[in-house]
């Protein structure tokens, strides 16, 4: 902590929150909210005279609310930086602190929150984790029985800098407990709350037990556990040491804690798996090892940073094995428990790893980004053809990367600002914009190939690169099997999924079409998904009006963490096709074809499309020849 | 800058197709040679072959040598996810003098053999179609250059716990200016609240 404050190149901004993140790799613009401390940082010398005279006491979060702090406060005496805060919500405006501060004049009640903009090349997100509140588990009586506490509360009570100066006492009678129990996996590995393991609690409870035992060898300590997990270096040896010290380990998940109303002693009811019987043991105090859970503002941060979350709510890395520190957004990295529960050694290692990933960019003058940007065909823009630029593309662009200077001048894409979602391309009513590497001609040719053979049996699945394609990958990686009739198409964002592609799929006789992208809050392109979703809803209503069989067009938002969902959706779509009579399906395809053709009348005029169609005819016959008579 | 996807097709297209076994990850479910045979009959495919591990040095070398030997100007790699090895193969073709955007992948592992392990016939049909789809796209690919953007040589670390402090120190010690943002009045995070820490039992602050 102190090292960070001393290092001249680190600018520590405490009591500050990230309000907005804009821009792209190498060129982020971050807006910070520097919350008002009502103390001038450059004048406060950390003497604490203000706190001494402050008459107001409120619970201190740092002490797990077991001890008070003043309205003029630092969370702990070793705070870094050592600058006091005046908590205006608690303050009674007696101004004794101002008087005590005297000639330093460090207190300023007029101070307000300040918004500051910073230009940043790369961002490391290390927002950490939060603790599960065990009061929802009524069976353990936390917050009902005074002597059931959390391990974090015990941590403060057992800390020489804590409220009792390290003297562990029972909250009910302030006596030192003699018989103690720790319960592991409270709210973790529990399908009601968090199915996953919190990673560090086994070692954490062993550490606390060892500390207590070393201080007072007479105390009797039992740890209730489901499994003891000690996979890292030195951990198993540490566990051995705990057993040698005489700490008891009972395998079993306690079902209930009851209390003696008189003594406030506690009875832990549990199964002892080793003995194969139900036990009931009496303790003076019970410590609950709460699950590590995402921060309460993790959802909010995820939308500020534009990064996705795994099913448990943690930030999701680009690839769990190959790029564990990278977010899907170039230039934003994760370190520590914000990406999943982690202990201290792993968090430190990840901090270094993320720094190394970020410094690849930060030590370069220039960084390369993908050239899959939008390009306007000026001769097709309504500014040229009708003298009136419609501006739909500029409205669709999530990045303000399209300039419309005047009605007569064709729209212009600012390449450096374009992120390549393709929203403008699909939205342009004149088909005057294309996206490099994802042109209509390319996409059309791919679709033709995928639907060359028995199209009515196929499910053409449009997936966005970042989420649904990742979801499909995860389905495969997890070996969640789904119908092999799926034929996947990949574009960067659901915003690129042009209505023409969907019409063309049905014109070609596709059995079913999936239109899928990220969940609204996860979009890699801010609002790209919203544009895609609006279009998908329009299509859905239209196909309903045409009385297309329900389920032949499906819209689903599937994240890269939802491999199971991808497999399930595809299997459900296969069931829709299986339940249809083959002739009935063929008749429906034929019935809808003329309508699709009508809607596609202008499609061949898009540059490249007629060539793509001509090529695809040759390709389709080659595919079918090959399949009939293997060479 | 206007894109004309067809103009460059005046040049005669010479497509090479590489079907990866990925050990048994792909070849355990389908016969890559079947996909090779199928690809040989597709328009403009002048060379198709299977390879045990396309991503291995030997696989990449094969592709690079073939680009020269067969004068390939499009390369299709039917292997794994683009999220896995697209950068690998883009770099490989680029080393052989081909624009990296003239390489296209077909995902016949994650999205085929791994997802249809119990439907070998269906998986083979799908692998052929996915390969054909990549061949089809390659017909209309154009060479592209990466876009260079300038870099602000300043970092921001959000969160002043043990991970954030560790990241900030490492960046700063490399000479990179770093802003460490913490929402609470002190840095230290959960670790500062802890008594001693395992397994070495040293102080947390």
Judge: A623–B42 Cβ closer than 8 Å, yes or no. yes
A32-67 pLDDT per residue, tens: 999 999 999 999 999 999 999 999 999 999 999 999
A103-140 pLDDT per residue, tens: 999 999 999 999 999 999 999 999 999 999 999 999 99
B43-98 pLDDT per residue, tens: 999 999 999 999 999 999 999 999 999 999 999 999 999 999 999 999 999 999 99
Q: Are A575 and A535 in contact (CB under 8 A)?
A: no
In degrees rounded to 5, what are phi and psi of residue B48?
-140, 140
Rounded to the nearest angstrom, the minimum Cα separation between A379 and chain B is: 10
Q: What is residue B3's predicted lDDT score, i.e. its pLDDT?
A: 41
Nearest CB among A211, A347, A373 relative to B196 is that of A211
Q: Are A581 and A495 in contact (CB under 8 A)?
A: no
Measured between CB atoms, does A18 come within 8 Å of chain B? yes
Distance CA A497, CA A536 (A): 9
Residue A491 has pLDDT above 70, yes or no: yes
State in words which class domain A369-437 has. Answer: alpha beta
Judge: A75–B147 Cβ closer than 8 Å, yes or no. no
A162-172 pLDDT per residue, tens: 999 999 999 99
* 3-class secondary structure per residue, A427-496: HCCCCCEEECCCCHHHHHHHHHHHCCCCHHHCEEEEEECCCHHHHHHHHHHCCCCCCCCEEEEEECCHHH
Residue A206 has pLDDT above 70, yes or no: yes
Find the helix or strand (DSSP H, E) in which A4 lies: helix A2-6
Q: How many helices (H) and strands (E) does chain A have?
A: 18, 29
A·B CB contacts under 8 A: 434
In angstroms, the first-to-last Cα distance of chain A is 69
Residue A477 tokens read as 């990686």
Distance CA A211, CA B197 (A): 10
Q: What is residue B197's predicted lDDT score, i.e. its pLDDT?
A: 83
In angstroms, the first-to-last Cα distance of chain B is 57
Q: Model confidence at B7, in pLDDT bands (50, 70, 90)?
A: very low
Chain A interface, best mutation among B155, B201, B203, by max A CB count within 10 A: B155
Judge: B128–A335 Cβ closer than 8 Å, yes or no. no
Q: Which residues of B touch A425 (CB under 8 A)?
A: none
Residue B12 tokens read as 């005669």
Q: What is residue B203's predicted lDDT score, i.e. its pLDDT?
A: 73
CATH code 3.40.50 region(s) in chain B: 5-138
Give the DSSP letter string of B152-171: --EEEEE--SHHHHHHHHHH
Q: Are B111 and A473 in contact (CB under 8 A)?
A: yes
Q: What is residue B1's predicted lDDT score, i.e. its pLDDT?
A: 37
What CATH number has the domain spanning B5-138? 3.40.50
Judge: B183–A16 Cβ closer than 8 Å, yes or no. yes
Measured between CB atoms, does A3 come within 8 Å of chain B? yes
Q: Model confidence at A329, in pLDDT bands (50, 70, 90)?
A: confident
Q: Model confidence at A629, in pLDDT bands (50, 70, 90)?
A: low
Q: Which residues of B touch A357 (CB under 8 A)?
A: none
Q: Which residues of A touch B87 (CB under 8 A)?
A: none
Judge: B128–A627 Cβ closer than 8 Å, yes or no. yes
Q: Model confidence at A416, in pLDDT bands (50, 70, 90)?
A: confident
Give the DSSP letter string of A115-132: EEEEEESEEEE----EE-
Distance CA A350, CA B190 (A): 16
B121-155 pLDDT per residue, tens: 999 999 999 999 999 999 999 999 998 999 999 99
**For residue B199, which of A522, A237, A64 has the smallest C-alpha distance?**
A237
In the DSSP assignment, the letter for residue B12 is P
Rounded to the nearest angstrom, the minimum Cα separation between B138 and chain A is: 8
Note the ipTM here: 0.86
Residue A296 tokens read as 């309460």
Q: How many helices (H) and strands (E) does chain B have?
A: 6, 7
In degrees rounded to 5, what are phi and psi of residue B180?
-105, 115
Q: What is residue A631's predicted lDDT score, i.e. its pLDDT?
A: 47
Q: Model confidence at B205, in pLDDT bands (50, 70, 90)?
A: low
CATH pick for A130-293 out of 3.40.50.410, 3.30.2010.10, 3.50.50.60, 3.40.50.11540: 3.50.50.60
Q: What is residue B196's predicted lDDT score, i.e. its pLDDT?
A: 83
Q: Are A170 and A287 in contact (CB under 8 A)?
A: no
Rounded to the nearest angstrom, the minimum Cα separation between A569 and chain B is: 14
What are the domain boundaries of chain A? 130-293, 369-437, 438-627
Residue A333 tokens read as 């990295």
Q: Are A470 and A516 in contact (CB under 8 A)?
A: no
**How buried is A253 (Cβ within 10 angstroms: 0-12 exposed, 13-18 middle, 19+ buried)?**
middle
A210-245 pLDDT per residue, tens: 999 999 999 999 999 999 999 999 999 999 999 999
Q: What is residue A415's predicted lDDT score, i.e. its pLDDT?
A: 86
Residue A344 has pLDDT above 80, yes or no: yes
Beta-carbon contacts of A71 under 8 Å, excluding residues fewer than 6 positions away, are A54, A56, A58, A86, A87, A90, A91, A92
Q: Model confidence at B10, in pLDDT bands (50, 70, 90)?
A: low
Rounded to the nearest angstrom, the minimum Cα separation between A579 and chain B is: 19
Chain B interface, best mutation among A2, A14, A58, A83, by max B CB count within 10 A: A14
A538-590 pLDDT per residue, tens: 999 999 999 999 999 999 999 998 999 999 999 999 999 999 999 999 999 99
**For residue A231, which of A346, A322, A393 has the smallest C-alpha distance?**
A346
Q: Are A350 and B163 in contact (CB under 8 A)?
A: yes
Residue A120 tokens read as 């940043």
Q: What is residue B6's predicted lDDT score, i.e. its pLDDT?
A: 42
Judge: A481–B116 Cβ closer than 8 Å, yes or no. yes
Rounded to the nearest angstrom, the minimum Cα separation between A260 and chain B is: 31
pTM of structure: 0.84
Q: Are B204 and B194 in contact (CB under 8 A)?
A: yes
Distance CA B73, CA B68 (A): 9
Find how far residue A189's CA is from the centre of its chain. 20
Residue A222 tokens read as 């039992």
Distance CA A428, CA A396 (A): 9
Write b or e for each residue in B102-140: b if 16 or more Cβ atoms lie within 10 A of its Cβ, otherwise e: bbbbbbbbbbbbbbbeebeebbbbbbbbbbbbbbbbbbb
Q: Which residues of A touch B78 (CB under 8 A)?
A: none
A58-112 pLDDT per residue, tens: 999 999 999 999 999 999 989 999 999 999 999 999 999 999 999 999 999 999 9
**For residue A14, which of B151, B173, B192 has the smallest C-alpha distance?**
B192
3-class secondary structure, A3: helix
């Amino acid at each position: 902590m102190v090292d960070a404050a001393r290092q001249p190149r680190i600018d520590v901004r405490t009591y500050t929150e990230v309000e907005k993140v804009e821009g792209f790799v190498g060129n982020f613009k971050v807006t910070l909210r520097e919350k008002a401390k009502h103390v001038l940082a450059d004048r406060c010398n950390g003497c604490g005279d203000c706190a001494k005279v402050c008459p107001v006491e409120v619970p201190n979060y740092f002490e797990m609310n077991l001890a008070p702090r003043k309205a003029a406060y630092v969370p702990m005496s070793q705070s870094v930086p050592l600058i006091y805060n005046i908590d205006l919500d608690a303050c009674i405006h007696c101004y004794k602190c101002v008087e005590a501060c005297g000639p330093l004049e460090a207190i300023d009640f007029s101070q307000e929150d300040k918004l500051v903009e910073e230009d940043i090349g790369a961002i490391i997100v290390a927002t950490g984790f939060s603790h599960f509140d065990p009061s929802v588990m009524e069976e353990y009586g936390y917050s009902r029985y005074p002597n059931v506490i959390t391990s974090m509360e015990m941590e403060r009570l057992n800390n020489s800098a804590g409220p009792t100066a390290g003297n562990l006492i029972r909250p009910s009678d302030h006596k030192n407990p003699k018989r103690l129990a720790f319960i592991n996996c409270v709210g973790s590995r529990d399908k009601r709350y968090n199915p996953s393991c919190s990673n560090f609690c086994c070692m954490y409870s062993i550490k606390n037990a060892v500390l207590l035992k070393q201080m007072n060898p007479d105390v009797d300590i039992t740890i209730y556990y489901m499994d003891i997990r000690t996979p890292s270096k030195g951990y198993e040896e540490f566990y051995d040491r705990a057993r040698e010290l005489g700490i008891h380990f009972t395998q079993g998940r306690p079902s209930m804690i009851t209390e003696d109303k008189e003594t406030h002693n506690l009875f832990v009811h549990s199964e002892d798996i080793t003995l194969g019987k139900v036990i009931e043991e009496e303790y003076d105090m019970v410590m609950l090892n709460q699950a590590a859970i995402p921060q309460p503002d993790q959802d909010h941060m995820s939308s500020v940073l534009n990064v996705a979350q795994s099913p448990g709510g943690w930030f999701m890395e680009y690839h769990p094995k190959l790029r564990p520190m990278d977010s899907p957004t170039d230039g934003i990295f994760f370190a520590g428990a914000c990406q999943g529960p982690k202990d201290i050694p792993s968090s430190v290692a990840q901090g270094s790893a993320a720094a190394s990933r970020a410094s690849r960019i930060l030590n370069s003058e220039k960084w390369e980004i993908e050239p899959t940007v939008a390009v306007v065909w000026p001769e097709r823009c309504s500014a040229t053809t009708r003298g009136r630029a419609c501006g739909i593309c500029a409205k669709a662009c999530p990045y303000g990367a399209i300039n419309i200077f005047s009605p007569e001048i064709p729209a212009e894409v600012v390449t450096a600002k374009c992120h390549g979602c393709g929203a403008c391309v699909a939205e342009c009513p004149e088909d005057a914009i294309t996206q490099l590497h994802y042109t209509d001609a390319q996409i059309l040719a791919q679709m033709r190939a995928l639907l060359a053979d028995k199209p009515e049996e196929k499910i053409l699945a449009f997936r966005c690169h970042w989420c649904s394609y990742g979801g499909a990958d995860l389905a495969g990686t997890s070996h969640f099997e789904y119908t092999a009739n799926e034929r996947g198409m990949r574009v960067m964002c659901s915003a690129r999924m042009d209505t023409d592609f969907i019409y063309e799929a049905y014109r070609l006789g596709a059995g079913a079409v999936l239109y899928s992208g990220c969940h609204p809050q996860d979009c890699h392109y801010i609002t790209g998904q919203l544009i895609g979703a609006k279009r998908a809803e329009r299509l859905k209503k239209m196909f309903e009006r045409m009385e297309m069989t329900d389920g032949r067009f499906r819209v689903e938002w599937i994240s890269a963490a939802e491999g199971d969902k991808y497999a399930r959706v595809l299997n459900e779509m296969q069931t829709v096709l299986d339940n249809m009579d083959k002739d009935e399906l063929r008749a429906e395809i034929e019935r809808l074809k003329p309508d699709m053709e009508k809607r596609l009348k202008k499609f061949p005029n898009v540059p490249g499309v007629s060539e793509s169609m001509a090529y695809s005819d040759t390709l389709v016959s080659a595919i079918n020849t090959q399949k009939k008579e293997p060479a | 800058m206007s894109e004309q996807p067809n103009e460059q097709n005046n040049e005669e297209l010479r497509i090479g197709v590489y079907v990866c076994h990925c050990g048994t990850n792909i070849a355990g479910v389908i016969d890559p040679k079947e996909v090779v045979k199928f690809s040989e009959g597709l328009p403009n495919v002048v060379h198709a072959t299977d390879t045990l591990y396309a991503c291995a040095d030997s696989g990449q070398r094969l592709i690079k040598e073939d680009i020269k030997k067969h004068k390939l100007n499009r390369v299709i790699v039917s292997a794994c996810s683009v999220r896995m090895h697209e950068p690998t193969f883009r770099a490989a073709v680029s080393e052989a003098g081909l624009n990296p955007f003239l390489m296209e992948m077909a995902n016949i592992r994650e999205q085929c053999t791994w997802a249809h392990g119990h439907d070998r016939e269906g998986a083979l049909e799908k692998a052929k179609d996915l390969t054909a789809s990549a061949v089809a796209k390659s017909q209309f690919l154009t060479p592209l250059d990466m876009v260079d953007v300038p870099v602000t040589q300043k970092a921001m670390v959000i969160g002043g716990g043990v991970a954030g402090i560790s990241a900030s120190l490492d960046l700063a010690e490399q000479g990179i200016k770093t802003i460490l943002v913490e929402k609470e009045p002190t840095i230290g995070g959960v670790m500062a609240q802890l008594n001693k820490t395992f397994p070495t039992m040293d102080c947390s602050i």
